[in-house]
Amino acid sequence: MATTTHDIRVLTRTRHVAAAAATFRTAMVGLPLPACDDAHVAALAEPGRTLGAFDGREVIGSAGSYTSWLTVPGGARVPHAAVTQVGVLPTHTRQGVLTALLRRQLGDIAARGEVVASLRASEAVIYERFGYGIATWAADYELNRRRGLLRDTLDGSGPVRLVGRAE
């Protein structure tokens, strides 16, 4: 396994957080960038929870998380890190960047006292080496139709449509 000499750090500057978001979208094979400025993109990130991997001045990898809670069997709520936007530019894969990012992220999560980290992965097998595993394949729900009712508190009814940002 390759090891990285890239600088891994918590991103505090708006432009770096926005660059991390763009890096993630590029790593995911070209997800479109949002039509907004860097400050708006950075405002969506929880401060202090976005990591960036740098090659010189360029953000070449990212890993973020959000503060959350997870209810476990028995009803207890435990501190939880909701991991998101993990990606490395295709030009920098197989150099240990992802390993360095996730090791740093998991260390930071543990230091915060969060006992669980979860993510939804496009390639789940990548994350097994960091301790992640499949939580579920499917869920089945049954509803007793005699006890299930539609809400009657909605005003009117009609078609539903998706409204874009410009409308």
pTM: 0.76
pLDDT band at 166 (very low <50, low <70, confident <90, very high): low
For residue 121 the two structure tokens come to 């992965």
- As a whole number of Å, the CA-based R_g of the chain is 20
- Beta carbons of 8 and 101 less than 8 angstroms apart: yes
**pLDDT single digits (tens) 85-101:** 999 999 999 999 999 99
> Best-predicted range by mean pLDDT among 24-28, 39-43, 114-118, 144-148?
114-118
Q: Which element (helix H / strand E) includes 97?
A: helix 97-111
The pLDDT assigned to 121 comes to 81
pLDDT for the residue numbered 40 = 86
Encoded tokens for 86? 């993990």
CB 80 within 8 A of CB 114: yes
What pLDDT shows up at residue 128? 85
Q: Pick the most confident of 35-39, 63-67, 121-125.
A: 63-67
pLDDT tier for residue 165 given thresholds of 50, 70 and 90: low
Of 19-23, 60-64, 84-88, 137-141, which range is least confident? 137-141
According to DSSP, the β-strands at 116-118 and 77-88 are: parallel
Torsion of CA 24, 26, 30, 35, to 10 degrees: 70
> How far is residue 44's CA from residue 5's CA, in Å, rounded to a whole number?
29
For residue 8, pLDDT beyond 50: yes
9-31 burial string, b = 16+ CB within 10 Å, else e? eebeebebbbbbbbbbbbbeeee
- Which residues make beta-bridge pairs with 7? 54
Q: What average pLDDT does the chain have?
A: 86
Structural tokens at position 158: 């009609």
Would you say 66 and 81 are in contact if contact means Cβ atoms under 8 Å apart? yes
- Percent of the chain predicted with pLDDT > 90: 50
Question: Is a pLDDT exceeding 70 seen at residue 9?
Answer: yes
User: 80 near 65, Cβ under 8 Å?
Assistant: no
